[in-house]
Amino acid sequence: MSPAPKSESETLSTELQYPLPTPPELGEAQEIAPGVFWLRLPLPFVLNHVNVWLLADGDGWTLVDTGLKSSKIEALWRQIMSDHFGGKPLKRIIGTHFHPDHIGLAGWFEEHWQVPLWMTRLDWSMGRMLQLDSRQNLPQPVIDHFSRVGLSQAEVAEMEAMGYANFGNRISPIPMTFRRISHGEELIIGNHIWRVVVGRGHTPEQACLYCDELGLLISGDQILPRITPMIGVYPSEPDANPLLEFLHSLDRFKGLPADTLVLPSHDSPFVGVGPRIDKIRQHHRNRLDDIFGACAEPKTLRETVPYMFDREFTDGEIFMAVAEGLAHANYLIDEGQLDREMGADGAYRYRQAGKRAAAA
Ligand SMILES: [Zn+2]
């Protein structure tokens, strides 16, 4: 998910259809195509739910995503398994990406039922790395990164108070072994072939699944109907350009049939993948225009945030806003439209490249 953009109303698509407007009740499984079940699990955030998908798989089941780690959700799964699995075992979990609301319980399923985890290599690695690095205190390179983007001392102190262990809190130990899935690979699940379509930018290698025969796309967080996924630059790779990767990988979904039913991780299934991709692109173009306009005069990344987001940020949310802002700034730097210069205070100042050229 992503902080509410300034132009949220523009991102609301009027061209999408929602053929299944009523989500399943907690603990229920709604069959939306033969052998394909929609389940909804709670999240303790503003975004209060995540969708997961249970697929009939011969003598058992394949589950796509698990929800967060919490004792409440574990209890819910025990109930779902006894109510809806018909005595058949869970054979595998396919994780769309490494975020805790998606694979938070993969380790729990592996520990108790020896269910293997199928994921892309980069997302498994990133999740494992973050989990193993769940130290308590903010490392100095992360603090330095916050200084370079121009966070105030009070904001850095807020981040320090939050600590560094948040990733590990909501996710059970990610299994030490996994089965790799790759872009273009075809998985046989029950009687159907599902093709892996990798989306980039939200995470390094998010796995979406497309079944031509059923006309379904499990889109993870890559394509959501009403919000756009968080595209952020983080302290580990401050010069990354994930927005370019995200926009490139969206092209992989452009040729899908117009009547494809998209099964997103948040909100309701919808038809209209092409128009939705156009809206998502427009959303990012607007945000690029916002930051470019803000940099008519030199600004720190922090100073550009109010030009992109029409709200205040509390409780460390500024971390997300700055990560998203930096993704757009880095995109424009790679395009040659923005320059940056280190200020005497240790923070970069961003400025329109043409301006500097004209001034020079
Ligand atoms: Zn995500």
How far away, in angstroms, is 343 Cα from ligand 1 center?
34
The enclosing domain of 289 has a CATH number of 3.60.15.10
Asked, for residue 3, whether it belongs to a domain, the answer is no
**pTM check: above 0.85:** yes
If you measure from the C-alpha of residue 103 to the centroid of ligand 1, how many angstroms do you get, rounded to a whole number?
A: 10
Domain boundaries, position 212: 8-359
- According to the model, what pLDDT value does residue 355 have? 62
| Domain assignment present for 1 | no
Residue 263 lies in a domain: yes
| Within a domain: 297 | yes
Parts of the chain with a pLDDT under 50: 1-13, 357, 359-360
Residue 319 lies in a domain: yes
Q: Is 285 exposed, middle or buried (0-12, 13-18, 19+ CB in 10 A)?
A: exposed
Q: How far is the CA of 1 from the centre of ligand 1 (A)?
A: 6
146 lies in some domain:
yes
Look at residue 5 in the predicted model and tell me its pLDDT: 43
Distance CA(148)–CA(73), nearest Å, equals 39
- Signed CA dihedral, 210, 214, 220, 223: sign only: positive
- Contact (CB, 8 A) for 299 and 210: no
Which amino acid would we find at residue 357?
A
Ligand 1 centroid, distance to 74 Cα (angstroms): 20
Distance 102 CA to ligand 1 centre (A): 7
Please identify which residue in the block is written with the tokens 């904001």. 155
CA of 267 to the centre of ligand 1 (A): 13
User: Are the CB atoms for 297 and 352 separated by under 8 Å?
Assistant: no
* 100 in a structural domain: yes
Q: Cβ distance 97 to 229 under 8 Å?
A: no
pLDDT of residue 144: 95
Ligand 1 midpoint to CA 273 (Å): 19
Q: What is the C-alpha to C-alpha distance for residues 220 and 200, in angstroms, rounded to an integer? A: 11
- Residues 40-75 pLDDT 10s: 999 998 889 999 999 999 999 999 999 999 999 999
Q: How many independent structural domains does the chain possess?
A: 1
Q: Quick one: DSSP state of residue 178?
A: -
Distance 234 CA to ligand 1 centre (A): 15
